[in-house]
Amino acid sequence: MKKIVTLLVGAVVVTALTACTGNITVNNKSADDGQTATEETVKDEDAVDVEEAQPEDAQAAEETEPADEAVDESPYDDPKSLPLYKYQGDDEYLGVISDYMIAEAMEMNGENAADVYIPYSIVAHTDDRNPDDILVYGSFNRCGYNLLNSTLVAVSGSWDAGIFHLKKTGDGDYKVTGADLPMTEQESIKLFDPLPGLYNKLMATLDETGDELRQEEIAKYINTNGLYITQWQEYGYAPKPVLNAPPTPEEENFYTHTSQMGYSLTYDLRKFSYGGDDTGESYLKIEPDATWTGTTMKVNSFDTEDAGEAIAEALSFTDAETFDISDSVIGDNISCKRAVYDEDISDGRIFRYICYAVPAGDKTITIYLTTAVQEGVSELTVEELEKTFEETLKTFTVL
């Protein structure tokens, strides 16, 4: 399994994040009866013999500098900022490692940092023979979430199989001094070569328990901080209930998004996933796991009052040379322009577009609906595509 770093945005890309992992230890200790998934260990008979397999100098090609130490509160002026995650388990190293990963993510993303980062990592093996360079092998995972009503929505994530380097301080605590976190699976496998079989066992544990462990860590964070959060959501998937949380009230499944582009709308979290980046904002239709049509609504803003120019710009990635544009309305009877375009793809699929151009002062906001066709999935007509987003578009307002 290769490292994945993804911002959970984009019109037609769904990334399954089930490879996130909780605080499970697999470092050659036997498990006690009655343990939860976060307390499981690899059985002694399956353990890797590491005494003779230790690397003389466990250094990877890519080493990151330690991030600043995590603080107790979010450094960003956001009225809905959530408390920082703090590791609650028994592993002596995961607390400082988790703090490091969170601080790194917050520093990297700045004002665009998620509301909260929740790590969940597997420690596969530790080598503490050198207190100045303690090696912690494992799968180190974190997800960033934004809080929408009472739903934690995943907006970013990273999954790394590698080695953290720690140093024991004078007061008995630990400090991260570096991290070998390869960018590819091949590099990770090579990093684990001195410990035969460890990488495969780590990945097997990740695959078997990842989703369960992730949910446990989310629930621990919510319970520890006494938060009212009832469900969590991955991009492209329907929300899942938080373990032992009360049911989500119907009205809290509807979230009103206010955009910096100068519009707002309300959408159903059970039907659509939101994603935003520098190229625009998108609302992806949630579909069964076996189905993919790329049915999406994407919103952009252009510095022009010419509707035709804005539509051409919004759909400039297509092969269209001209568009038939007609009058239309959107939201609460807002006058706008509308264009429909079908594009035949060389592999036999059809990409269908419906684009609206809405006046917004000296700018134009474009909203285009799109759907693709995959083998075995019925093609959406123009009417069906429009119907998919009808209730959401009724709430569209120019600010």
* Average pLDDT along the chain: 83
Q: Which residue has the higher pLDDT, 343 or 41?
A: 343
pLDDT number for residue 380: 86
- Average pLDDT of the residues in 213-220: 95
* 293-339 pLDDT, tens digit each: 889 999 999 999 999 999 999 999 999 999 999 999 999 899 999 99
pLDDT number for residue 70: 41
- Average pLDDT of the residues in 50-58: 47
Q: For 51-55, 120-124, 169-173, which range has the lowest pLDDT when averaged over its residues?
A: 51-55
Model confidence at 4: pLDDT above 70: no
3-state secondary structure of 5: strand
Model confidence at 384: pLDDT above 90: yes
What one-character-per-residue DSSP string does 107-169 give? Answer: HHHGGG--SEEEE--EEEEEE-SSTTSEEEEEEEEEEEEEEETTEEEEEEEEEEEEEEEEEE-
Top CATH class, 251-398: mainly beta
Of residues 109, 118, 103, the one with CA closest to residue 73: 103
> Confidence class of residue 64 from pLDDT cuts 50, 70 and 90?
very low
Q: What is the β-pairing status of strands 280-285 and 296-302? A: antiparallel
Model confidence at 72: pLDDT above 90: no
Domain ranges of the chain: 4-241, 251-398
> Confidence class of residue 43 from pLDDT cuts 50, 70 and 90?
very low
Model confidence at 360: pLDDT above 70: yes
pLDDT number for residue 375: 65
- Average pLDDT of the residues in 30-56: 40
pTM: 0.79
Residues for the chain: how many in total?
399
273 in Cβ contact with 236 (< 8 Å): yes
Of residues 278, 303, 318, 317, the one with CA closest to residue 362: 303
pLDDT number for residue 24: 34
Instruction: For tokens 């700045």, name the residue.
Output: 110
pLDDT number for residue 73: 40
